[in-house]
Structure 1
Amino acid sequence: MASSKPLGVSCRAERRPNPQWSELFLFRLWAAYLPATTAEVLVGIMTVVTPFLPLHDLSVSLASPFETRRSVSSTCWTSRLHEIGPERQIDIPLASACSLEPSSAWQFMADIALICRIFILIRYSTIHAKSQALDFRAGGVVFIPLLYRPQLLECRRTQKKLTGRKFRLWRKGSGSLLHYRNRMSPLPTASALMLAHDSEFWLLEHADLSSKKRAAFCALQSGVLSALCYPAAPSSRLRVVADYMNYLFKLDDWSDELTPEQVDVLRGRVMQVLYDPSPFVNKAGDDPVALLTASFFSRLVSSAGPLCVARFVSTMEDFFDAVTQQAHDRICDSVPSLQTYIALRRDTSGCRPCFALVEYAAGIDLPHSIAKHPCAHTMEDAANDVVSFANDIYSFNVEQARGDTHNAVIIVMREQGLDIQDALNHVGDLCIAAIQTFERTRAQIPSTGTRMDADLDAYIAGLQDWMVGSLHWSFITERYFGAHGLEVKKGLKVKLLPQKAQI
């Protein structure tokens, strides 16, 4: 960084009685000043100081929590606070107070912003000694002071300081969606659990997994997801559904690190069986994908309606189209817009073939005119969005740790300049909006005056079971919260994991 022309940092204080507004104001300034093209331009955002707060209190507040931080991160600011004039605006020549290389510019800016945010929250909050979570007295909303801006993910030292801080999965008062209208118990029956266990062994017998992957697969408990999402299915049909769910998770894992060309190869192996499973049934071979596909699909075809089967196969084609696009995005390090992501996520989630199996589990075969009705399509998309967005909330922590970007929370952070908590709240609001769309559309479905009304009601109830069941399962599986799922379910607070890779 050139030192001949010191860079100034503008700080303006505003009179605002609501500390939460001040926090949002700080973020807006931060987003406006943040350089988008170069790290050589240093811009730091100072705190919003309300007129009734004595300046010496600010100095003390900053000194206590950060005694071990670099002196340039605290004293550089506290020593100049008393120079704030009547306009409460000050320009500080940072380059005269410290010497920064371009590679350190982002780090210093992150330190300053973190101190400013912490101060605002300390001034208007109570610090809980055990969790270090900060509780706003105004409204009681837990807002965690995390500097997790996508533009600053290269600040590894700052990320380490944030690691272990807690954030809320759902906005306080939302009920985490777990109390959405529910016709089932949040726990599967004993017989369903036994069937799920048998289904897991079915996959392990054919998938040829390492001991580490076998342990991870057992901790997944995808068979339990089937039991929760298809609670009214008879055991014979539930077993087929559970086998498919186990298979789908492995298919998703297999495709996660593939190139688009490799995804096409995998697609060919799967779709070949779906169009004609007979050559692969009960055949020994070296292709576990074909064997597993033929095993569950041959049983599905033998007892499902032809229209249901056709819809299932079509949605699997859509699934591979979306997975291929996701592989392209991963290779190009491309992050789609939120709207593009939503359309893609509806297929990569795997919900659409699972919704086709709702018909199978209920023993119905909806005619094309009913299944493709605009109301049915809208409700499917809404249910898909609830499952997908909730999954993005629950999986965000582990995905940000390993550098994944195919997640609505991360996309919202980048697109709208939000921090973790605000992005989680935003995606949670999208879930609630999707539920409202589902219920509103449900009330608009016209009656046919035939038996199809009962079949459609059963299908809609199945979509509802899927939304509720997937929410409960997210705290049972170890995929997102390890062995602490039930604990997280009670408090809905999660500690930020350390990053293993750059996003």
Structure 2
Amino acid sequence: MIETGFPRQLHAYWPKCQEKTRAWLLEKRLMPADKVEEYADGLCYTDLMAGYYTGASDEVLQAIADYSAWFFVWDDRHDRDIVHRRPAAWRLLRGRLHSALDSPGAHLHHEDPLVAGCADGVLRLYGFLPQTWNLRFARHFHAVIDAYDREFHNRTRGVVPTVEEYLRLRRLTFAHWVWTDLLEPAAGCELPDAVRKHPAYRRAALLSQEFAAWYNDLCSLPKEIAGDEVHNLGISLIAHEGLTLEQAVAEVRRRVEKCISDFLDAEQEALRFADELADGTVRGKELSAAVRVCLGNMRNWFSSVYWFHHESGRYRVDSWDDRSTPPYVDNEAAGER
């Protein structure tokens, strides 16, 4: 369905973006040099963003790609803090990230590279659109940090959320609205609330993100079972709906496929909405064009997520020496002593 219906796109800037993100990870000390050398390109973090925000300027794509790479490193730190039972370290990091999000300029030289990297990435993203967009992005990312805290407590206590609880939380831990916000700097235009919250636009945006989150759950299920995870749609289906592993995989796959078909319908409705915005005024023409760029990039998200999960070393759990410990994670860098 993806390979035939969603042709793969890749931003022309991608090779340079990959090179610069690799250098940024080193400069910000987010990954040790040996890990960057051996694993950074194979993890395909820049491929994921370069296949998504294809309408972005080179500068915007680079900022998004670096922020995305930071996000994966943060996700790994969060995971290691859980695995190695470091609640105090996680609480400290959580508070520092909230602070860095509100005042990134004051945290650029923070002692924790993860905090400094967050500040650098966010400050660059804040430079593209007006303050109203920055405040919205910050609000959405604060909610993501808090959701990661809820996941921390669930995992350390062995609590498997119900399917409905999980689906609500997943929209936050996958950062649905953060990646959707970033469609706007990629299009070079802040969308007013009346456009962003219009049912046609919002439904298409949500479906593209739901597909990505659930496809991620499908592909990461072996890795997360190996790591005693409790946050996965398949695991919630097994724990609370009484499904076998095979049945849970089939149900997640069914939901993924429905997201694809539903998006195709939503996309047409959103394109009609874009046409309606072109009301003969200069502003209407600008908004219509921006919505079309955003919709095109929502469509790109399907193929980019699909290929990322089949090409990234992040999901090749069967090739790891220890199925519960990713080889690209450095425990010393994550705060272990």
Give the TM-score range, shorter chain.
Answer: 0.7 to 0.9
Matches within 5 A, 1:61-460: 175=1, 177-182=2-7, 184-185=8-9, 188=10, 191-207=13-29, 209-210=31-32, 213-214=35-36, 215-256=38-79, 257-258=81-82, 262-281=89-108, 283=109, 285-445=110-270, 446=273, 447-448=276-277, 449=279, 450-451=284-285, 452-460=287-295
- Classify 1:402/1:273 alpha carbon distance in 2 versus 1 (closer, same or farther; 3 Å): closer
The answer to whether the 8 A contact 1:178-1:472 is kept is no
Displacement of 1:435 after TM fit? 2.4
Question: 1:469 maps to what in 2?
Answer: 304
Matched residue type, 1:430: R
Greater RCO (Cα-Cα under 8 Å, separation 6 or more): 2
- Classify 1:444/1:223 alpha carbon distance in 2 versus 1 (closer, same or farther; 3 Å): closer
- Classify 1:213/1:402 alpha carbon distance in 2 versus 1 (closer, same or farther; 3 Å): farther
Displacement of 1:189 after TM fit? 5.6
The answer to whether the 8 A contact 2:60-2:186 is kept is yes
Higher share in strand: 1
Question: 1:8 maps to what in 2?
Answer: none
The answer to whether the 8 A contact 2:238-2:248 is kept is yes
Matched residue type, 1:374: P
- Classify 1:500/1:193 alpha carbon distance in 2 versus 1 (closer, same or farther; 3 Å): closer
The answer to whether the 8 A contact 2:160-2:235 is kept is no
The answer to whether the 8 A contact 1:386-1:467 is kept is yes
Displacement of 1:207 after TM fit? 2.5
The answer to whether the 8 A contact 1:307-1:368 is kept is no
- Classify 1:190/1:234 alpha carbon distance in 2 versus 1 (closer, same or farther; 3 Å): closer
Q: Distance in 1 between matches of 2:28 and 2:98?
A: 19
SS in 2 for 1:233: coil
Q: Distance in 2 between matches of 1:241 and 1:232?
A: 12
Q: Distance in 1 between matches of 2:30 and 2:63?
A: 20
Displacement of 1:418 after TM fit? 2.8
Matched residue type, 1:241: I
Unaligned 5+ runs, structure 1: 1-174, 485-496
Displacement of 1:396 after TM fit? 1.1
- Per-residue CA distance 1:215-247 (angstroms, 9 max, x = gap): 444532211211111222221111101111111
Displacement of 1:364 after TM fit? 1.4
Question: 1:167 maps to what in 2?
Answer: none
- Classify 1:368/1:415 alpha carbon distance in 2 versus 1 (closer, same or farther; 3 Å): same
SS in 2 for 1:207: coil
TM-score normalized by the length of structure 2: 0.82
The answer to whether the 8 A contact 1:280-1:294 is kept is yes
Q: Distance in 2 between matches of 1:344 and 1:408?
A: 11
- Per-residue CA distance 1:43-90 (angstroms, 9 max, x = gap): xxxxxxxxxxxxxxxxxxxxxxxxxxxxxxxxxxxxxxxxxxxxxxxx
Aligned residues: CA RMSD: 2.7
**What is the total number of aligned residue pairs between the two structures?**
309
Question: 1:123 maps to what in 2?
Answer: none
Matched residue type, 1:222: Y
Matched residue type, 2:95: G
The answer to whether the 8 A contact 2:207-2:259 is kept is yes
The answer to whether the 8 A contact 1:263-1:323 is kept is no
Could you tell which deviates more after superposition, 255-264 or 358-367? 255-264
- Classify 1:262/1:383 alpha carbon distance in 2 versus 1 (closer, same or farther; 3 Å): farther
Q: Distance in 1 between matches of 2:44 and 2:215?
A: 18
Identity %: 23
- Per-residue CA distance 1:297-353 (angstroms, 9 max, x = gap): 222222223333222212111111211111111122110111111111111113321
Q: Which has the greater radius of gyration?
A: 1
Q: Distance in 2 between matches of 1:365 and 1:398?
A: 38
